[in-house]
């Protein structure tokens, strides 16, 4: 891992690259300069105007709307009203001619033409943990290594020198937040459960004067530990994480989390829910230059009362997702921001005895778009009825034009500007591609 | 109005009662000198390990680093066995001990400390049942943990524990060892036999065969039908009003993935068929097979795990996916592409066999195994070296010619923080409030610092949330607060002179004395401070020491 990380932090043209370890003298100088200017710890030369670059000039970012528990395709983007499998869910027309979605999404219907719909995702993972792993990393679980999530790869491959806050952020948690895997824990999503409650442990406990003394002492103690352990201590990333934590503590960029700075009308549009706040914060974070944000909405695991459950969920998802797309578009950020709305699997066409639907990894839906992808493409199709009762039970039914998860991941990574099939070495020296899939050309805009 | 005056007293009593109720551990006497003696006649075993490493290093053109000083080793021992740093009290008494083999005697002393039984039980439990709390009604991890720590305290032979976990019957509350099988129980699905088979092989035999549930193992010889045969041993598990029992009428069926036909699978083992007795329930038979003295996987797996818990890195990684025992005709048919442990050379022995054989021949005594490892050369080496070449250092690390730097687990961080906030030892007999804090804060801190769950022996670097938590978190702030009751407060007020003050802070936090450079930096800071403000300077020094890599990394 150390080598990988070293490439990331020292091999790139990040500010850290010019500051080979030991970092102390230079940091102290920087601190002095910063302190003199009244901005303790903030490194000089930071450009908060990343937000002003627009359109093609912007580096790409990724927002994943994670539907934790597995949303039903039939109650979201792939309804089959009036059929044996459709249940009571009705459909409505959208702004995209010919496309109908579940009628619980009137506001998404107004925006969905900006994105694409895939209705035929297939996987072999019908368990929450395994499914989540696949749908966050593009790989099936492997006991011998942990693959990095989309956001971790993006942050690793597309570093942002100007960013003082973490470049991979997970809002509202869930049980399995996106991880850095073999790229290192430093690429784990920085977890913030509810941005409106503030972020924990960000305030120094003492005034600047004492903090300076504490840090100056830290230099001395660290130096004696490094003696005879230069390489080993470097590999711990201890110093790097302390520095980045310090940088974050006083960063102006933390304002990105302050959603109460937004006009009331915008906040209303996203909805006054935790998830609405999360989506709004995601937009602000991307605007600030954060590479990847994951916003989680749990509660889709409707083994019972599927239809009521999905209606309740839609009340949060519909306004927030629609407002996010609209807002990104308004600010000319959609062309540089890839949006993916997905969960670990879909739900069975068959309705069980409790009015519920169970796990279904064969033919489920997602929304993907922005970031320069084409828009208005609908891929795949599921049967209005499974071919037989047995198919519904046995997971052998296949949708038309099945799309494999790795292919979706390859598409997204390439669109972000990442060499999706790049082979990197894991810490134990095993070569591994970022994605094993092939990009779906039908989603890519012709140039 | 008089009752109002009584109120604080009543509240205090209530708190004391509550605390002692919650902490729940009977206050046992400190181990007597008699019982805490090192195990006799272990020198030969230590020699065998040292010989192994001498050969290994010479054979690979590696030179081990110098021996570390005793205090550094003492710190490693307390961190590994009890999840904390030595207290000032312990350091003082250790330094006054001028008898021979003091490290060995102190190791034995800690191994008889209840803190060892509790801390080590949690570490082992992670391998046995994982970290999930599960369904409280039918699964009691807490009871399991207490049972395991009692077994460690009485030092029962390891195979007996394994046999009880696999083969036990009864209620999970009365017979806590059955929680091993209850961890594989799901309300809707019943017992997940595949999960149990995978878990048993992984936990006790050190191989990950879970994948053989659906397909053959990619490089070892495990086949899908072998997996089913093992799983069939759990096929007669039944949950009844009297808890776990076997129902001899139950059949174990497996669905063929191609034909979707169900077929009955009889219990079978993949090798060593004659180790399995014909008597007893299916699980009892499996338990005997797993713990059969000729089944070398058992001893190799636990040795690798204990080695990992002591060093922070197992001998073979990952800790629970070992290659087949080398040179074993029965248990290890030749398979193309099979992994070789530690790039072993032909004719070489594996460390896991050196220690495993010794472990078996000495009554599967876990305490003795720990004593041998801790007294052997690799554990006593320094963690620093003149070698600056990263790839050579990697090779030294691989063969333990240098003590590895590993990230402390959150429980060790919190244990060290709390211990450093007190001058006396925080153990079963310490102030109830300290124990209460430890108990109530532990899980929050562990969660926030990042619990590694079952994979706690993976090589990890630090993270930003950890740095933030150490720098600005509540717990650190409270433990460094210089009050008349905390170590920092007492050092600030009572130490005789700044030299002493500085030395005490270093001993309490880092288990060492300051270097000349450090003294040259910190002494002037202390000297120029007015006596009233000394407490604050000591707080700052504490903060600095807590945030150093030396504090957060085992070395």
Gap from B77 CA to chain A (nearest CA, Å)? 20
Contacts of B461 in chain A (CB under 8 A): 1-2, 5, 184-186, 235-237, 241
Least CA distance to B470: which residue of chain A? A201
Say yes or no for a CB contact (<8 Å) between B464 and A221: no
Question: What is the model's pLDDT at position B41?
Answer: 87
Q: DSSP label at A10?
A: I
Helix (H) or strand (E) holding B437, with range, is helix B432-449
Helix (H) or strand (E) holding A242, with range, is helix A238-249
A293: nearest Cα among A24, A64, A48? A64
- Which of B461, B472, B550 shows the shortest C-beta gap to A225? B550
Least CA distance to B385: which residue of chain A? A228
CB pairs under 8 A between A and B: 143
Question: What is the model's pLDDT at position A248?
Answer: 93
Question: What is the model's pLDDT at position A145?
Answer: 81
Helix (H, G, I), strand (E, B) or coil at B206: coil
Helix (H, G, I), strand (E, B) or coil at B534: helix
Question: What is the model's pLDDT at position B4?
Answer: 56
Chain CA centroid to CA A125, Å: 20
Which residues is A101 bridged to in the sheet?
A92
Gap from B322 CA to chain A (nearest CA, Å)? 12
- Which of A5, A223, A242 shows the shortest C-beta gap to B547? A242
Contacts of B464 in chain A (CB under 8 A): 166, 186, 190, 241, 244-245, 248
Contacts of A204 in chain B (CB under 8 A): 471-472
Who's near B222: CB < 8 A, 6+ residues apart? Answer: B207, B209, B212, B216, B270
Gap from B30 CA to chain A (nearest CA, Å)? 35
Task: Sort residue A342 into left (φ over 0), alpha (ψ -120 to 50) or beta.
Answer: beta
- Which of A166, A185, A204 shows the shortest C-beta gap to B461? A185
Helix (H, G, I), strand (E, B) or coil at B234: helix
Q: What is the Cα gyration radius of chain A?
A: 23
User: How far apart are the C-alpha atoms of A333 and A326, rounded to whole Å?
Assistant: 10
| Owner of token pair 């060995």 | B104
Contacts of A156 in chain B (CB under 8 A): none
The structural domains of chain A, with segments of one domain joined by +, span: 1-43+203-250, 60-200+256-443
Which of B75, B468, B554 is the best substitution to test chain A (most A C-beta atoms within 10 A)?
A: B468
Say yes or no for a CB contact (<8 Å) between A241 and B467: yes
Say yes or no for a CB contact (<8 Å) between A236 and B549: yes
A370: nearest Cα among A18, A111, A78, A7? A111
Least CA distance to A246: which residue of chain B? B468
Who's near A11: CB < 8 A, 6+ residues apart? Answer: A17
- Which of A191, A201, A428 shows the shortest C-beta gap to B469? A201
User: How far apart are the C-alpha atoms of B236 and B176, rounded to whole Å?
Assistant: 20
Choose the CATH number for A60-200+256-443 among 3.30.530.20, 3.30.1150.10, 3.40.50.150, 3.40.720.10. 3.40.720.10
Positions in chain B short of pLDDT 50: 1, 20-32, 218-219, 333-340
- Which of A238, A246, A427 shows the shortest C-beta gap to B549? A238
Question: What is the model's pLDDT at position B219?
Answer: 47
User: How far apart are the C-alpha atoms of A427 and A183, rounded to whole Å?
Assistant: 8
Gap from A233 CA to chain B (nearest CA, Å)? 8
- Which of A190, A214, A229 shows the shortest C-beta gap to B465? A190
**CA distances in angstroms from A263 to A20, A196, A267, A325, B446, listed in the order given:** 44, 15, 7, 17, 39
Q: What is the mean pLDDT of each run of 10 residues along chain A (447 residues)?
A: 39 33 37 38 39 70 97 97 94 96 98 98 89 96 85 96 93 87 90 81 92 95 95 90 93 92 96 96 96 97 94 98 97 96 95 90 96 96 67 62 97 97 85 96 85
Tokens matching residue B118: 């509790």
Question: What is the model's pLDDT at position B431?
Answer: 56
- Which of A228, A229, A241 shows the shortest C-beta gap to B462? A241
Which of B462, B479, B538 is the best substitution to test chain A (most A C-beta atoms within 10 A)?
A: B462
Question: What is the model's pLDDT at position B342?
Answer: 61
Least CA distance to B397: which residue of chain A? A232
ipTM exceeding 0.90, yes/no: no
- Which of B208, B464, B541 shows the shortest C-beta gap to A241? B464
Q: What angle do CA A361, A153, A45 make, to 5 degrees?
A: 145
pTM, 2 dp? 0.82
Say yes or no for a CB contact (<8 Å) between B405 and A235: yes
Kindly write down the DSSP assignment for every residue of B310-371, as one continuous string: HHSS-SSSSTT-PPPPTT-TTT----TT---GGGPPTTPPPHHHHHHHHHHHTTT-HHHHHH
Gap from A222 CA to chain B (nearest CA, Å)? 6
Which of B192, B402, B460, B463 is the best substitution to test chain A (most A C-beta atoms within 10 A)?
A: B463
Contacts of B406 in chain A (CB under 8 A): none
Contacts of B322 in chain A (CB under 8 A): none
């Amino acid at each position: 891992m150390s080598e990988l990380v070293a490439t990331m932090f020292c091999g790139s043209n990040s500010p850290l690259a010019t500051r080979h370890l030991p970092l102390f003298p230079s940091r102290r100088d920087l601190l002095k300069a910063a302190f003199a200017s009244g901005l303790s710890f903030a490194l000089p030369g930071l450009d908060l105007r990343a937000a002003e670059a627009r359109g093609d000039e912007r580096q790409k970012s990724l927002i994943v709307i994670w539907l934790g528990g597995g949303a039903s395709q039939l109650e979201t983007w792939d309804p089959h009203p009036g059929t044996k499998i459709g249940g009571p869910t009705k459909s409505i027309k959208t702004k995209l001619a010919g496309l109908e979605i579940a009628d619980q999404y009137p506001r998404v219907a107004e925006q969905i033409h900006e994105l694409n719909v895939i209705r035929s995702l297939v996987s072999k993972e019908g368990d929450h943990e395994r499914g989540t792993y696949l749908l966050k990393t593009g790989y099936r679980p492997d006991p011998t290594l942990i693959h990095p999530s989309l956001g971790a790869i993006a942050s690793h491959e597309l570093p942002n020198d100007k960013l003082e806050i973490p470049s991979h952020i997970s809002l509202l948690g869930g049980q399995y937040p996106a991880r850095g895997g073999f790229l290192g824990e430093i690429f784990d999503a920085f977890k913030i459960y509810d941005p409106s409650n503030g972020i924990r442990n960000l305030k120094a406990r003492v005034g600047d004067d004492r903090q300076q003394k504490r840090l100056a002492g830290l230099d001395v103690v660290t130096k004696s530990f490094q003696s005879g352990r230069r390489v080993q201590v470097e590999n711990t990333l201890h110093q790097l994480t302390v520095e980045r934590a310090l940088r974050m503590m006083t960063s102006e960029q933390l304002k990105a989390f302050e959603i109460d700075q937004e006009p009331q009308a915008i906040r209303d549009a996203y909805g006054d829910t935790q998830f609405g706040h999360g989506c709004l914060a995601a937009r602000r974070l991307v605007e600030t230059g954060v590479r990847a944000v994951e916003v989680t909405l749990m509660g889709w695991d409707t083994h019972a009362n599927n239809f009521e459950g999905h209606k309740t969920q839609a009340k949060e998802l519909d306004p927030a997702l629609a407002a996010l797309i609209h807002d990104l578009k308004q600010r000319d950020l959609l062309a540089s921001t890839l949006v993916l709305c997905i969960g670990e699997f879909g739900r069975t066409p068959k309705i069980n005895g409790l009015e519920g639907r169970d796990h279904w990894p064969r033919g489920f839906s997602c929304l993907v778009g922005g970031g320069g992808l084409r828009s208005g493409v609908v891929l795949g199709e599921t049967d209005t009825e499974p071919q037989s009762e047995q198919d519904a039970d046995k997971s052998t039914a296949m949708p038309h034009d099945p799309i494999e998860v790795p292919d979706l991941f390859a598409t997204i990574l390439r669109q972000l500007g990442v060499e999706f099939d790049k082979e990197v070495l894991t810490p134990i020296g095993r070569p591994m591609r970022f994605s094993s899939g092939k990009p779906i050309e039908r989603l890519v805009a012709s140039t | 109005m008089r009752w109002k005056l009584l109120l604080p007293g009543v509240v205090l009593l209530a708190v004391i009662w509550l605390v002692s109720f919650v902490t729940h551990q009977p206050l046992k006497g400190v181990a007597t000198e008699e019982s805490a003696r090192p195990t006799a006649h272990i020198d030969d075993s230590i020699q065998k390990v040292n010989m192994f490493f001498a050969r290994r290093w010479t054979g690979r053109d590696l030179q081990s680093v110098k021996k570390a000083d005793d205090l550094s080793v003492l710190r490693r021992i307390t961190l590994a066995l009890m999840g904390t740093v030595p207290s000032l009290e312990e350091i003082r008494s250790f330094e006054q001990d001028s008898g021979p083999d003091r490290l060995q005697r102190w190791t034995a002393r800690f191994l008889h400390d209840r803190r060892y039984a509790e801390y080590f039980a949690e570490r082992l439990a992670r391998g046995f049942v994982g970290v999930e709390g599960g369904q409280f009604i039918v699964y009691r991890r807490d009871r399991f943990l207490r049972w395991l720590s009692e077994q460690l305290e009485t030092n029962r032979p390891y195979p007996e524990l394994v046999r009880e976990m696999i083969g036990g019957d009864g209620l999970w509350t009365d017979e806590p060892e059955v929680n091993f099988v209850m961890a594989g129980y799901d309300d809707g699905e019943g017992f997940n036999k595949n999960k149990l088979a995978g878990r048993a092989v992984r936990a006790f035999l050190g191989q990950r065969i879970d994948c053989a549930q659906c397909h053959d193992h990619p490089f070892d010889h495990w086949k899908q039908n072998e997996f089913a045969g093992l799983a069939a041993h759990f096929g007669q598990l039944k949950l009844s009003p009297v808890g776990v029992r076997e129902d001899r009428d139950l059949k174990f069926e497996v669905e063929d993935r191609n034909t979707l036909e169900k077929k009955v699978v009889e219990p079978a083992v993949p090798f060593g068929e004659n180790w399995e007795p014909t008597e007893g329930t299916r699980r009892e038979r499996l338990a005997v097979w797993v713990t059969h003295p000729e089944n070398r996987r058992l001893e190799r797996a636990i040795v690798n795990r204990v080695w990992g818990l002591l060093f922070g890195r197992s001998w073979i990684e990952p800790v629970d996916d070992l290659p087949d025992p080398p040179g074993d005709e029965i248990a290890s048919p030749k398979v193309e592409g099979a992994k070789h442990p530690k790039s072993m050379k032909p004719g070489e022995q594996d460390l896991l066999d050196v220690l495993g054989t010794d472990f078996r021949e000495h009554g599967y005594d876990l305490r003795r195994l720990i004593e041998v490892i801790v007294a052997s050369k690799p554990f006593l080496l320094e963690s620093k070296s003149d070698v600056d070449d990263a790839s050579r250092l990697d090779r030294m690390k691989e063969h333990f010619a240098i003590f590895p730097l590993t990230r402390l687990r959150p429980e060790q961080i919190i244990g060290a923080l709390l211990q450093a906030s007190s001058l006396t030892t925080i153990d079963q007999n310490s102030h109830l409030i300290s124990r209460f804090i430890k108990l109530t804060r532990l899980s929050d801190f562990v969660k926030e610092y990042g619990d590694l769950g079952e994979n706690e022996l993976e090589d990890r670097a630090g993270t930003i949330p950890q740095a933030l938590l150490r720098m600005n978190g509540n717990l650190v702030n409270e433990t460094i607060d210089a009050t008349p009751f905390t170590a920092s407060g007492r050092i600030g007020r009572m130490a005789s002179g700044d030299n002493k003050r500085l030395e005490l802070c270093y001993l309490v936090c880092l288990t060492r004395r300051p270097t000349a450079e450090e003294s040259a930096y910190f002494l002037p800071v202390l000297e120029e401070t007015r006596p009233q403000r000394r407490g604050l300077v000591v707080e700052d020094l504490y903060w600095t020491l807590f945030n150093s890599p030396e504090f957060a990394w085992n070395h």
